[in-house]
């Protein structure tokens, strides 16, 4: 068979993009039993129908890839007549020289050629891939998380020459050098590095899904120790804590604020209410009246009212949409119930008397809430610069100091593991022990 003239890269690019759209359309088809009237996936015939449809779906994708390859590949594909009977063909490498590739099967050689040519589409460099990755992940993760990872991309990847590299060209050594330099240049902690590396893992996962690469090189980086920035033992929780006496004084300060009719009462009330619980500010803002069981004296923490973002399909941007209710606690924690104290029942009755419309109990601006906490510390000469999270750290340490049981503190905070709670109190236990022996 005579060799055809090499097809221009722009033409291959157009073919590849058309093929990618066709494959995505096939993959997005849901509810296969809809094509088999009267059948249900739970029935035997339904399972057979589903299996038949999935096999047909894969066959369609496979056929699309084959047609694409045969349309753009200009060299003969043949099978050896003797020996291992490998399937073979020639392709051009980066130096424009012809090199031979082979596979034990026809499907294998087609897949290798598909990977080669699809890497030449507009989604070839990291810069060109990232918008596609964002669109893909927008259906899989929260908008706020997507915004954070997009920020990592813009700060650490986009300005770096690696963003102009083709994903198919990047090997383990390239990624290793990139992250080694990144950790050194930005003095990253191990946690920061892990978060930033997630961006690369998303890109590689997208490329694996679309057969642009045949393995994820980012996984090879697991276990590698770079020269991470050293952190203190208490680094996981940056918010400083109050003493137990400080908290009593803050309650008194809040009572004085409540006596001033010119000041909004919701902020000192929220501060007093949250002192024993240490709720995250989003959890505090997410409390509904329906979460309060006055009869059983129990509150249920089951949502957050937090800032969120949304991916805009029209222009590919990630837009701020304001605060929204999320029926999921941070870290995929389970809803938790906490005892309602008599003091907090009184606080809730005071909030009710304010006649604030709506189902949300503490309707407040989070920045103003934090400023009130800082103001209380300043006016009481408490020598720390507190944050909203300071109440949470303090509540954890108080619970542990009174019980000596980290699981009690864990139940209060709602952490999925005691290890996370331990980060709030581990230096506390050591310090108290040292005081006793010295």
Q: Where are the domains of the chain?
A: 9-118, 126-221, 244-299+338-437
- The predicted pLDDT at position 1 comes to 39
* pLDDT, average across residues 245-268: 94
Most confidently predicted of 50-59, 229-238, 254-263, 422-431? 254-263
Q: Which superfamily does 244-299+338-437 belong to?
A: Intergrase catalytic core (1.10.443.10)
The pLDDT-based confidence of 2 (bands split at 50, 70, 90) is very low
Lowest mean pLDDT, pick from 58-62, 130-134, 287-291, 425-429: 425-429
Gap between the Cα atoms of 294 and 123, Å rounded: 57
Q: What length is written for the chain?
A: 438
Query: Which is more confident, 160 or 108?
Result: 160
Could you give the percent of the chain with pLDDT greater than 70? 81
pLDDT digits over 164-211, tens only? 988 877 889 999 999 999 999 999 998 899 999 999 999 999 988 877
pLDDT digits over 12-23, tens only? 666 666 666 666
Lowest mean pLDDT, pick from 46-60, 100-114, 256-270, 415-429: 46-60
Query: Which is more confident, 331 or 144?
Result: 144
Gap between the Cα atoms of 238 and 306, Å rounded: 20
Residue 383 has pLDDT above 90, yes or no: yes
Query: Which is more confident, 62 or 274?
Result: 274
The pLDDT-based confidence of 356 (bands split at 50, 70, 90) is very high
- The predicted pLDDT at position 286 comes to 96
Residue 294 has pLDDT above 90, yes or no: yes
Residue 78 has pLDDT above 60, yes or no: yes
- The predicted pLDDT at position 135 comes to 93
Could you give the percent of the chain with pLDDT greater than 90? 52
Residue 31 has pLDDT above 80, yes or no: no
Gap between the Cα atoms of 179 and 193, Å rounded: 8
Query: Which is more confident, 438 or 369?
Result: 369
- The predicted pLDDT at position 15 comes to 65
Fold classified for 126-221: DNA polymerase; domain 1 (1.10.150)
Residue 40 has pLDDT above 70, yes or no: no
> Contact, 254 vs 326, CB < 8 A?
no
- The predicted pLDDT at position 197 comes to 95
- The predicted pLDDT at position 56 comes to 73
Burial annotation 226-245 (CB, 10 A radius, 16+ → b, else e): bebbeeeebeebebbbbeee
The values of phi and psi at residue 329, to 5°, are -80, 155
- The predicted pLDDT at position 376 comes to 96
* 103: number of Cβ within 10 Å: 18
Gap between the Cα atoms of 374 and 391, Å rounded: 12
- The predicted pLDDT at position 63 comes to 84
The average confidence (pLDDT) of the chain is 84
- The predicted pLDDT at position 43 comes to 54
Collect all residues with Cβ–Cβ distance below 8 Å to 287 and sequence separation of at least 6: 279, 299, 301, 360, 361, 362
Q: Alpha-carbon Rg of the chain, whole angstroms?
A: 30
- The predicted pLDDT at position 234 comes to 41
The values of phi and psi at residue 258, to 5°, are -65, -20
- The predicted pLDDT at position 233 comes to 47
The pLDDT-based confidence of 7 (bands split at 50, 70, 90) is low
- The predicted pLDDT at position 119 comes to 55
């Amino acid at each position: 068979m005579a060799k055809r003239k090499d097809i221009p890269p722009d033409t291959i690019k157009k073919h590849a993009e058309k093929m990618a759209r066709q494959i995505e359309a096939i993959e997005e088809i849901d509810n296969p039993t809809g094509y088999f009237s009267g059948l249900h996936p739970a029935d035997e015939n339904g399972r057979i129908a589903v299996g038949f449809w999935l096999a047909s779906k894969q066959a369609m994708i496979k056929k699309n890839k084959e047609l694409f390859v045969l349309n753009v590949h200009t060299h003969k594909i043949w099978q050896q007549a003797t020996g291992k009977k490998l399937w073979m063909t020639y392709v051009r490498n980066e130096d424009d020289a012809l090199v031979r590739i082979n596979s034990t099967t026809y499907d294998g050689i087609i897949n290798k050629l598909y990977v080669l040519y699809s890497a030449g589409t507009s989604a070839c460099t990291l810069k060109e891939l990232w918008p596609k990755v964002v669109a893909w992940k927008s259906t899989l993760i929260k908008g706020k998380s997507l915004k954070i990872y997009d920020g990592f991309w813009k700060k650490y990847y986009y300005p770096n020459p690696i963003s102009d590299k083709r994903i198919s060209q990047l090997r383990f050594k390239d990624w290793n050098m990139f992250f080694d330099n990144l950790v050194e240049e930005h003095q990253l902690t191990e946690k920061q590095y892990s978060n930033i590396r997630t961006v690369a893992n998303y890109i590689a996962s997208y490329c694996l899904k679309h057969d642009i690469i045949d393995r994820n090189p980012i996984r090879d980086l697991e276990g590698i120790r770079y020269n991470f920035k050293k952190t203190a033992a208490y680094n996981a929780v940056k918010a400083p804590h109050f003493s137990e006496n400080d908290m009593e004084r803050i309650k008194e300060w809040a009572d004085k604020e409540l006596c001033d009719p010119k000041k909004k009462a919701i902020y000192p009330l929220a501060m007093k209410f949250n002192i024993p619980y240490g709720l995250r500010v989003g959890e505090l803002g997410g409390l509904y009246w329906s979460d309060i069981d006055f009869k059983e004296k129990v509150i249920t923490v089951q949502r957050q009212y937090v800032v969120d973002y949304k991916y805009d399909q029209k222009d590919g941007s990630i837009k701020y949409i304001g605060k929204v209710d999320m029926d999921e606690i941070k870290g995929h924690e389970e809803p938790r119930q906490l005892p309602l104290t008599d003091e907090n029942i009184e606080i809730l009755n005071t909030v009710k008397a304010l006649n604030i419309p709506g189902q949300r109990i503490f309707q407040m601006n989070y920045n103003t809430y934090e400023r009130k906490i800082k103001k209380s510390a300043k006016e009481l000469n408490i020598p720390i610069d507190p944050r909203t999270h300071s109440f949470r750290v303090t509540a954890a340490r108080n619970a542990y100091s009174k019980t000596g049981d980290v699981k009690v503190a864990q139940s209060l905070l709602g952490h999925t593991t005691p290890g996370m709670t331990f980060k709030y109190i581990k230096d506390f236990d050591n310090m108290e022990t040292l005081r006793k022996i010295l």
